Chain A
Amino acid sequence: MDAHASTADHTDHSHPTAGVYAKVGLILFVLTALEVGLYEITYGEHAGAFSVDIRPFFVPMLLLLSAAKFALVAMFYMHLKQDSKLFTGVFVFPLTIAAVIIFGLMILMAYHMSYARSG
């Protein structure tokens, strides 16, 4: 019985309310609109609307917005903020490996291409 009580203690984390879910949904929608808006003013029909050239900041800003959306979904909708830290570990560890794979391959290919070009 104690084992079962202990089990309940580990899993009984209250999930957010519908209001919190709706607020997160609204933020996600706004962030997506910002992503598309950023594209429009950088490369779309409204490109050049600003006197400042924002192209160097386009990719970092887009990655930042995507990371924010990713974190919001994982924390609130996937309940990682409330659930056991073991779930966070099981998710974040392979996610870290995934990020390393992506950046590692990109660096490797960039090096390979520059090496090939230099002959």
Chain B
Amino acid sequence: MTAVAHDVPHGLEHATSTGLDSRKLAIWTFIGSECMFFASLISNYLVHKGRSLVGPFPHEPWTSPSGEHFKPILEIPLVTLGTALLLFSSLFVVLALSGAQRGSRKALVGWLAATIACGIFFVGMQVYEFTHFVREGLKLSTNLFGASFYTLTGFHGTHVTIGVIWLITLWILALRGKIPPSKSLNLEMAALYWHFVDVVWIIIFPVVYLIK
């Protein structure tokens, strides 16, 4: 059995009725369920888009009845940088996976560290954005935009944070030499989750930040 386990790729250790590793099928099923979860949040944002009665608004300035002036609240340049880094992090994690599958510990550790750095930057960007918005007067209960925006991007940010924690644990294991090529599936599962978080942002970014 041990000999067979060494023969099969990606650390597959058990024969399955589908011929596929159950863990990989499980992560894909989970990602499928997450698609519907985020679809409900994106739908919620879209059906409430442009229906806020009071500001601050995402793209338009607003003056309150008391004469207080609010600028358009979204900061596109900063979020574009975060988006670019999240896209690059997807590249870095596949390079880390490639390193793990080749048995290159240096590539695995290095690219994984770069992925984690991009993820931490993205989370930091979102924390800055949220605190900035609250200071500007946009809270969860301010208007429909605030409620749907914080719910959608907040859940996405939580997913990114979970991904960063997952990748940090794998990075520590990689530093200790505990991710040999036969166990690269452990990283592949985290990478699939990370890519999913990335593709969700690919949808959220234009829907929330670019489409008026």
Contact = CB atoms under 8 A, between A and B. Distances in A.
Given A8-B7, A106-B47, A70 B29 contact: no
Interface of A is mostly: helix
Interface string A73-96: 110111000001011001101110
Nearest to B29: A90
Nearest to B8: A8
A54 interface: no
A77 B24 contact: no
Given A73-B198, A91-B28, A94-B32, A106 B46 contact: yes
Interface residues of B, number: 56
A58 B24 CA distance: 38
B117 interface: no
B46 A102 contact: yes
B59 A43 contact: yes
Interface in A35-62: 35-36, 38-39, 43-44, 58-59, 62
B20 A86 contact: yes
A11 B206 contact: no
Interface of B is mostly: helix
A29 B84 contact: yes
A10 B31 CA distance: 21
Most chain A beta-carbon contacts within 10 A, residue among B4, B43, B205: B43
A25 B200 CA distance: 17
Contact of B206 (A28, A63, A76, A94): A63
A85 B203 CA distance: 24
A7 B16 contact: yes
A90 B31 CA distance: 9
Interface string B29-70: 101110110111011001100000000000100000000000
B192 interface: yes
A105 B29 contact: no
B10 A11 contact: yes
Interface string A6-24: 1111111001011001101
Given A11-B12, A21-B98, A59 B211 contact: yes
A55 B196 CA distance: 30
B87 A32 contact: yes
B76 A36 contact: yes
Nearest to B192: A78
Contacts of B39: 97-99, 101-102
Nearest to A103: B43
25 contacts: A1-B4, A4-B15, A6-B19, A7-B12, A7-B15, A7-B16, A12-B9, A18-B98, A21-B95, A22-B91, A39-B210, A62-B206, A62-B210, A63-B206, A66-B203, A74-B199, A77-B93, A77-B191, A78-B196, A84-B19, A86-B20, A97-B35, A102-B42, A105-B47, A109-B47
Going nearest first, the 8 A-B pairs with the smallest beta carbon separation are: A10-B19, A98-B39, A25-B91, A94-B32, A109-B47, A105-B43, A3-B15, A8-B8
Given A10-B19, A25-B88, 10 more contacts: A8-B7, A24-B91, A32-B80, A39-B210, A43-B59, A69-B87, A70-B203, A74-B195, A91-B28, A91-B32
